[in-house]
Structure 1
Amino acid sequence: MFRITLLFTISLVALSLANQDDYTGYKVYKILPKNEDELKTIQTLIKHPQVDVWTSSKLIGHPTVLMVPPTIDYQLRSLLRVNNLPYYTLIDDVQSTINNEKNEQATARRIFSDRSGRISFKQYERFDTITGYLRNLTNLYPNLVKLINIGKSYEGRDLEVLKISSGGNGNKPAIFVDGGIHAREWISPATVLYIINQLVENYSENSALTDNIDWYIIPVINPDGYEYTHTKSRFWRKTRSPNGSSCQGTDANRNFDFHWREVGASSNPCAEDFAGSKPFSENETVALSNFALTLKKNVKLYLTFHSYGQYILYPWGWTSALPDDVDELDTLGRNANTVSGYKYTVGSSTNVLYAAAGGSDDWFKGVAGVNLSYTIELPGGGLSGFDLPPSRIEEVVQDTYKMVKVFASYIEEKFVNN
């Protein structure tokens, strides 16, 4: 019988852990379950409102990584010992890790600062720089790219999709790509920017990917949260809208109107996976979904980039049942994995990671009709996983782009050549 009472009785007051200016004394632990019983214990543990789950899995031998505040640190370690769960301390003081990351970012900016409107991929860019880069591309490549405003974030930032198209009558199959739905996952926007960079600035080498396919790409769908992680709270995850409580923000990737809040999402406004007061309560998810529906007849592949954990996930997130076309989804995901220097786990979200209803990948498949819908959990790095050093950005984005080309080639083969 699992002994979980100790931790859950100390404090049932839900705190939004990421809403912190200072993470002094916060620790990060890694737990590796060896059997089904340990997996079940972990699944119960991560539901505690003061445990911030950084990565988790439903597979034996795959790690769960979580951050805890000093207020429950002793109780959590006691719980792990009582249940004979071996754990490792990844970070003894989270604030020290944040300080080191800030110093490395500052050094990268001094060395690689580029005022020509381009991206260096030697540092993590701020949202205004990203927006400036996209607009600069429209001036430099007016026959290839077009910037489409699809709405504004809660704090008034422009939500803009870059359309990449070499022409045609609008009947080409299309690929929809987004990133940055979770604010603290900085490598996600960097990866999406690299896809843009290769398709546009390196067009001569990648024209095969745009001659027969249109691309719709948005690097940061949650710009308010993204900026907040740069200026205030590094591990903020959600949007920045009021949510009817003393806490703030909604997990945008639990806010889509498809089996909303049925499983793997919280009704607690202070929880990191708060699904919102209602489906599509957020400006950002409304804008993304409304625009995607205008492309319903064209979009054949959806790729959304997250971090971290090295997973290629396909629906469903709301049920352990597999989609009817699971063989195609699984085969394509595994084919993409073969070109990667990293080893990704491929499978349905609920069965290899965790249940999470209301996600964008489920909505794109279940509502927008995009059968080939994937969430790519990118590699982590540094100490926290989210703090992949700027020196490794190029390594990860270049490797990921190899997989993107496999996905794109499949779309061309299936919907153009056939």
Structure 2
Amino acid sequence: MTYLWLLLSNLCLVLVSSSVYDGYKELELATKSRSAVENFRFAELARNDSFHGLYNKRGLGASARSTEETFAKLLDTIGISYRLVNGDVGLTLGREIPYEGGLSTERYYTHSEINQYLEDLAKRFPTRVFIKAAGKSYEGRWMKTITITNGDQRTNKNVIFIDGGIHAREWIAPAAALYAISELVENFVAYHELLLDYDWVVLPVVNPDGYEYTQLSPDTRLWRKTRQPSSAECIGSDPNRNFDFHWNEGGSSSDPCSDTYGGPQALSEPEVVVLRDLLHTFSGRGKMYLTLHSYGNLILYPWGWTPDLPETVDDLHEVATAGSEAIYAATGTKYEIGSSTNVLYVAAGASDDYAFHAGFPISFTMELPAGGPNDFDPPPSAIDSIVKETWVGIVAMAHKVVEKYPLE
């Protein structure tokens, strides 16, 4: 059996990267025929502008403008089989860069690296940054929050709470939460007004087990749920359908194998219990809850369990509008705003409804822009623009919240 290794970039996707291997796929080719190898080298597809090959001692590196389907047909025609070894070589290479303190917007980070970054910030800024180990996930990972203050040691300030990564596959959400943290801490002077009477609390990854699982291989990349077994055959529940407010009243599945399985009962997922308890910690102080998701370019407010609107919908709409208009002015990206049920779909048992019910007067789900072949996986090259754009919207909404809800 003769083997070749192939790096294939399917440029029917928009892939722009500082890494030459961003978005490339690694394939293992196999054939029993030497002539098939020669046929592959000199196939017409390799001679025209739709396919460019570079043959070397290790195998063939290729950049293809043709679709993967076209390429697969070529291999079949000349008698070569293949299997996918790596779905994103650039991402893998990027993750092999060791964490040495400080995060960039050039790659996605593991949950342990994220926690280490939070701890590093607390060591560097001990009067302004505080870490709390809020609880553990099903698989025993610590869920840590970072509280960002201006260092004046005043207690009982109002609170803006942000989280990300409730759904495992939405990597851009933790990335956006981390960028918000870095701006508030390391660029403090620019945002000092937002920290006068407000503390910011951020939980970057609500679903660390699922988040880590999505990073194992291309086969697990689109995993959405937690990792606690939900039945004899299936694993995980949708944590954003598991809160005990109108749980199981729409938008969730009773099938344990479904991506939207709401769990065997409300609060069955330990990660959801941790987040619920955190939200109650800020009773009376919490003024804005923002949960980051992808994708859709949406700022959604309650309710998710009914098409009815809250009595304070005008306040919700005003703050959401501030965010959407700021983003549009800065980048031209349009965000749609409205209630979850009316703009998107029914989603009972979600965290934004729960936070609003628990006393946060402003509560949003922010669906960030799509990216990558499955819309849930913007390439590393897109992280910087998305998180910076998102931060523009968050800052505008925060200013409106500070104006509307001054410290009493």
Cα distance change of structure 1 residues 352 and 206 upon mapping to structure 2, 3 Å threshold: same
2:204 paired residue number: 219
Worse-superposed segment, 113-122 or 126-135 = 113-122
RMSD value over aligned CA atoms?
A: 2.1
The secondary structure found in structure 1 opposite 2:364 is: strand
CA offset digits 1:62-113 (Å, max 9, x no partner): xxxxxxxxxxxxxxxxxxxxxxxxxxxx9969x99x9775212134446xx4
Q: Counterpart of 1:187 in structure 2: which amino acid? A: I
Quote the Cα distance in structure 2 between the aligned partners of 1:236 and 1:115: 25
Q: How does 1:173-212 map to 2 (within 5 A)?
A: 173-212=158-197
TM-score (norm 1): 0.74
Q: Does 1:325 align with 2:318?
A: no
2:144 paired residue number: 160
Quote the Cα distance in structure 2 between the aligned partners of 1:387 and 1:363: 27
Cα distance change of structure 1 residues 99 and 401 upon mapping to structure 2, 3 Å threshold: farther
The secondary structure found in structure 1 opposite 2:273 is: helix
1:229 to 201, 214, 222: 214
Q: Which runs of 5+ in 1 are unaligned?
A: 1-89
Q: Counterpart of 2:90 in structure 1: which amino acid? A: E
Q: How does 1:108-119 map to 2 (within 5 A)?
A: 108-109=94-95, 113=97, 115-119=99-103
Higher CA-based Rg: 2
Q: How many residues align?
A: 324
Q: How does 1:19-418 map to 2 (within 5 A)?
A: 102-109=88-95, 113=97, 115-166=99-150, 167-232=152-217, 233-340=220-327, 341=331, 342-366=333-357, 368-416=358-406
Q: Contact 2:157 / 2:407 at 8 angstroms: preserved in 1?
A: no
Q: Contact 2:130 / 2:147 at 8 angstroms: preserved in 1?
A: yes
1:12 paired residue number: none
Quote the Cα distance in structure 2 between the aligned partners of 1:374 and 1:323: 13
Q: Counterpart of 2:340 in structure 1: which amino acid? A: S
Q: Aligned-pair distance for 1:171? A: 2.2
TM-score (norm 2): 0.76
Quote the Cα distance in structure 2 between the aligned partners of 1:242 and 1:333: 37
Q: Counterpart of 1:357 in structure 2: which amino acid? A: A
Q: Aligned-pair distance for 1:116? A: 2.8
Quote the Cα distance in structure 1 between the aligned partners of 2:100 and 2:386: 24
The secondary structure found in structure 2 opposite 1:416 is: coil
2:49 paired residue number: none
Quote the Cα distance in structure 2 between the aligned partners of 1:91 and 1:208: 51
Quote the Cα distance in structure 2 between the aligned partners of 1:104 and 1:332: 38
Q: Counterpart of 2:102 in structure 1: which amino acid? A: R
CA offset digits 1:317-371 (Å, max 9, x no partner): 00000111111111211121011121111110000100010000000011x1112
Q: Contact 2:303 / 2:340 at 8 angstroms: preserved in 1?
A: yes
Quote the Cα distance in structure 1 between the aligned partners of 2:85 and 2:403: 48
Quote the Cα distance in structure 2 between the aligned partners of 1:143 and 1:114: 28
CA offset digits 1:171-205 (Å, max 9, x no partner): 21110100000000010000000000000011122
Q: Aligned-pair distance for 1:114? A: 5.8
Q: Contact 1:173 / 1:411 at 8 angstroms: preserved in 2?
A: no
Quote the Cα distance in structure 1 between the aligned partners of 2:406 and 2:145: 24
Q: Contact 1:91 / 1:383 at 8 angstroms: preserved in 2?
A: no
Q: Aligned-pair distance for 1:416? A: 2.4
Q: Aligned-pair distance for 1:211? A: 2.2
Quote the Cα distance in structure 2 between the aligned partners of 1:417 and 1:319: 32
Quote the Cα distance in structure 1 between the aligned partners of 2:295 and 2:256: 24
Q: Contact 2:319 / 2:401 at 8 angstroms: preserved in 1?
A: no
Q: Which runs of 5+ in 2 are unaligned?
A: 1-66, 73-81
Quote the Cα distance in structure 1 between the aligned partners of 2:316 and 2:68: 36
The secondary structure found in structure 2 opposite 1:404 is: helix
Quote the Cα distance in structure 2 between the aligned partners of 1:91 and 1:229: 23
